Amino acid sequence: MAVMTEEGAALVVDPARPVFMASGQGSQKPGMGATLLDVPEVAETFACASDMLGRDIAALATDDAPEAAAALNETRNAQAAIATLSIGIGRALQAAGVEPAALLGFSLGQVSALALSGMVSMEDAFRIIDVRSRLMDEAAAAAPGAMSALLKATPEAVEELCAACAGDDVLVAANFNSPGQIVISGSVAAIERAEAAWKEQGGRASRLATQGAFHSPMMAAAAEPFGALLATIQFREPQVPLICNTDAAPVDAASIRQRLVDHLTHPVLFSQSVERLRAAGAQTFVEVGFGGVLQNLVKRIDKEAERFCLQDKESLEAYLAARAGA
C-alpha cells in the first residue's frame, strides 16, 4: 500500500507499485482509444462521459477520419476525450489488481487523477472537466494568447527572458516539463518577442497548438466561476498520494479546491513532481493515456526510472502480462 507522510515535507511511496500519470491536453489524436472500447472499464468510462457531457465522447475520440481532427482539437472536446481515456485505462488497471503507489496528472490530467484517487466520483470529474474547459475557452477568447516550448532552457534563463520580453504584456513560465524544456505562456506579441530573443541566444522554440495562454494570469477570468463550481463538489481524501501540479506536494480534501483554482493561473511543476516522487522511492511510471508525452518527459528527467505508456489494447495487455509473469 502507498504511504504518505508529511513530516518535514517527507513523502514515501511503495516502490513495488507504479505511479499512474494522466495525460494532458495536446496528446489527443483521431482514433485514440479505438482498440480499448471492449475493455469494460474503458467502455463504462466513455458511457459516463457521454451521459455527463451530452455528446458521444467515444465517437469523438475514436473517429480517425481526417476531418475529425478539427473537432477533436477544440479545447472542450480534447479535454473530454483525453480525460475519459486516462480514467478508463487507470480503472482497467485497478480492476486487474494494479494499484498505484501515487498519482500525477499533467494539467488536465490532474482532474483525471482526482477520479482515479477516489477524491471525486467519475460523474463529478466530468462536471469539473466540462466547466473547466468551457471557462478556459472563454478566457482564451477574451484575452488571446499563446504558448511556446523553449529547449535548452533553465529556470533562471527563462525568468530573465520573460522579464526582458514581457513589456506591458503577460509573459510567464507555464510548464516545467523536464530539464532543458520549459514552456512559456502569454500574449501573442510577447511570445513572439521571446521566441525571437531565445533564437538569437542560440536556443530553439516550438509554438504549441493551444488556443490560449494557459497556466498564466490570462486565465484569471476563469478562477471565480471555476471556484464556484468546485464549491458544489464533494471531495474525499485520496486513497493514494496525489501530487499537485502547482507545488509538487500531495493534496488533501481541505486544500484541493483552492489548488485546482490556482492551477489555472500557475505553472505546471511536472519535472519537480517526478523528482520528488523518485526521491520518495517511486521506481516505475505508467502513463495512462495517449501519445507517450509524459513517458518521454520522465526519461529526460531520470533515465533510471522505468516507464510505460498504456494507450491501446496491445500495450495494456502486454503490461499486464509482464506483471503476471514477473
Catalytic residues: 107, 215
Taking alpha carbons only, the member of 210, 188, 240 closest to residue 14 is: 240
Pairing of strands 19-22, 284-288: parallel
Taking alpha carbons only, the member of 99, 97, 98, 102 closest to residue 113 is: 102
Angle at 283 between CA 282 and CA 287, to 5 degrees: 90
Which sign, positive or negative, has the C-alpha torsion 262, 263, 269, 273?
A: positive
Residue reference for cell 516522487: 277
In whole angstroms, how far apart are CA 281 and each of 3, 12, 102? Answer: 11, 6, 11
**Measured over all CA atoms, what is the biggest interatomic distance in the chain, rounded to whole angstroms?**
59
180 bridge partner residues: 153
Taking alpha carbons only, the member of 28, 25, 209 closest to residue 107 is: 25
